[in-house]
Structure 1
Amino acid sequence: MTVLILGLDPGSIHTGYGLVRKHGSALQPVDAGRFSCPRDLDLPRRLAHLAGRLGDLVDRHRPDLAVLETPFHGMNARSLIVLAQARGALLVTLAGRGIEICEYSPAEVKSAVTGNGRADKEQVARMVRLLLAARGEGWASDATDALAVAICCAQRLKLDRLASGAPVLP
């Protein structure tokens, strides 16, 4: 059976997305990119724009589940508040469409993709391209980060479900 996983790398200006199809142990990239909001919009309109773009993507691809990184604790308070608002717009959009949502810490994502929870962005990007057998030309770093989150979810999905007692998806 096949599972389509939507990874998201949220931001109030740029939000990366990456869709990965998991069939058995094989991973295949389906779509990746980023939503960019005009900087001249105020925050509520940027969040509405972000929610609308995500809604269109979800309606087009119909992912089985979505996954986001948990916020990084070292962020300054103002940035963390804006990120939390962007995450909220994404979460409400996904929940409103009945999409199951998973979350992993940045260290879990890096560890799942590279084997090193402290890997830098370039190491993660290289491993994403390798794991997906794709050159990744033209993928913005936001998209690569979102694909990494989706890969982490694909690799951890069965373990997480087994630990929680939930039914195990393929």
Structure 2
Amino acid sequence: MTSPLRVLGIDPGLTRCGVGVVDVDRSRRATLVHVGVVRTPLDADLSVRLAAVAAGIRTVIEEHRPDAVAVERVFAQHNVQTVMGTAQASGVALLIAAEAGLPAATHTPSEVKAAVTGYGSADKKQVQSMIARILRLDAPPQPADAADALAIALCHAWRTGPVAPTAEGGMTPAQRAWAQAERNSRTSRVARTDVRAAR
């Protein structure tokens, strides 16, 4: 029997860096292993804050021994200072993964949302609610950074982990809904193209 895939998901940030570890088996059933947030003081030097983020991630890796690391991919924001801090924390996370000899990947926010909710533009409350349902938790993880880290871990596990052979291709209900939405979107685009060509 194949062991579950253990993934550490990281929602990078300087003030709050979400970390979440999940086990996902061949049937795509996920189990919570660990969730938390690495916090750094706003008034500390940048080097000190990055070192704190690195130490927090190292501790999680040492305690829970993940098989892989997944980090949310940095995307453009209007607040340059915020995106710079996120990018720096992301770089630290990827470096720590490499030092630990773990495969690492990045996923965009829309990829993560689509994986866990079936909708790439879901809001944070929808993501938190689905994470609680998927992991059979009594309440959504708090703060949102923690839930996002778990969502990133689940996204990665479902995209790369072992899949049990099933009629549904091993997809979760959310993934099936997302795949169907993409098929409908492609069909709609093709139909519009055909209509324009016929004019």
Task: Give TM-score scaled by structure 2 length.
Answer: 0.76
- The one of 120, 123, 133 equivalent to 1:120 is 123
1:82-141 deviation digits (Å, cap 9, x = unpaired): 211111111111111111101111111111111110000000100011111112456321
Preserved contact between residue 35 and residue 146 of structure 2 (Cα < 8 Å)? yes
Measure the CA separation in 1 of the matches of 2:140 and 2:129. Answer: 11
Aligned pairs, how many?
Answer: 159
Match of 2:14 in 1: 12
Q: Which has the larger radius of gyration?
A: 2
- State how far apart, in whole Å, the 2-side matches of 1:138 and 1:147 are: 9
Higher relative contact order (CA 8 A, sep 6+): 1
The answer as to whether partners of 1:32 and 1:139 remain within 8 angstroms in 2 is: no
- CA shift in 2, pair 1:156/1:138, >3 Å: closer
Q: CA separation in 2, counterparts of 1:22 and 1:117?
A: 22
| Residue ranges of structure 1 left out of the alignment (5+ in a row) | 160-170
The reply to whether residue 46 of structure 1 matches residue 81 of structure 2 is no
Structure 1 residue 79 displacement after superposition: 2.0
The one of 76, 81, 84 equivalent to 2:84 is 81
| CA RMSD after TM alignment | 1.5
TM-score, length basis structure 1: 0.88
Superposition map of 1:19-168 within 5 A: 19-24=21-26, 25-136=28-139, 139-158=142-161
Q: Which runs of 5 or more structure 2 residues have no equivalent in the other structure?
A: 163-199
Determine the C-alpha separation between the residues in 1 that align with 2:77 and 2:85: 14
Percent identity reads 36
Q: 1:122 to 1:138 in 2, by over 3 A?
A: closer
Report the AA paired with residue 12 of structure 1.
Answer: L
